[in-house]
Amino acid sequence: MKKNNLSWGIGYLLVGAIFLFLGFQFIDRLSSIFFGLAGAFIGPGIMMVYRYFYWNRPENAERYAMRMEQEQIEMHDELKTKLRDRSGRYAYLLGMCVISISIIVFTFLDALEIVHLGKWITLFLGAYLVFQLIAGWVIYRQLLKKYES
């Protein structure tokens, strides 16, 4: 297994430790958010470090090589590649619909004065929608350029 995986695991643990420290520093509403973020980083960090040491043992080297070979076959399978592409597109379209509906809902909530941050939420969601549209267009053009030449 690559040393990069160990580095990422240690990085996750460090970020989790920072959030844990911040959770103990702020004893109010923010502490629960910081404790949640600490758990969200420490848990995967521990798993990454554990997997690194587990797969680097000499008795697991052959199984790891077979596993990586099988993973490469799976990644380059044409049908699965098409399905991944199609599922990514559907997720993208679903996200666009959710953002569009959210803009309308928050606009109504702001107009009825139910939510006081509705204006900011609406502006954020509108900017996110524009970003997602532009990003999708740019990525498509780059992929098209890559396969045309």
- DSSP per residue, 60-117: GHHHHHHHHHHHHHHHT-HHHHHHHHHHHHHHHHHHHHHHHHHHHHHHHHHHTTS-TT
pLDDT: which is higher, 34 or 108: 34
Long-range contacts made by residues 35-43, C-beta under 8 angstroms, separation at least 24? 40/16, 41/12, 41/13, 41/15, 41/16, 42/12, 42/13, 42/16, 42/17, 43/16
Give dist(CA 42, CA 12) in Å, integer. Answer: 6
* pLDDT value of position 117: 75
pTM: 0.58
Backbone angles phi, psi at 26, to 5 degrees: -100, 105
Tens of pLDDT, residue by residue over 2-22, are 889 999 999 999 999 999 999
Mean pLDDT value of segment 32-48: 93
Which is nearest to 39 in space by CA: 9, 63, 12, 74?
12
Tens of pLDDT, residue by residue over 99-124, are 888 888 877 877 777 777 767 777 88
Under the banding of pLDDT at 50, 70 and 90, the label for residue 148 is low
* pLDDT value of position 118: 64
Mean pLDDT value of segment 45-68: 90
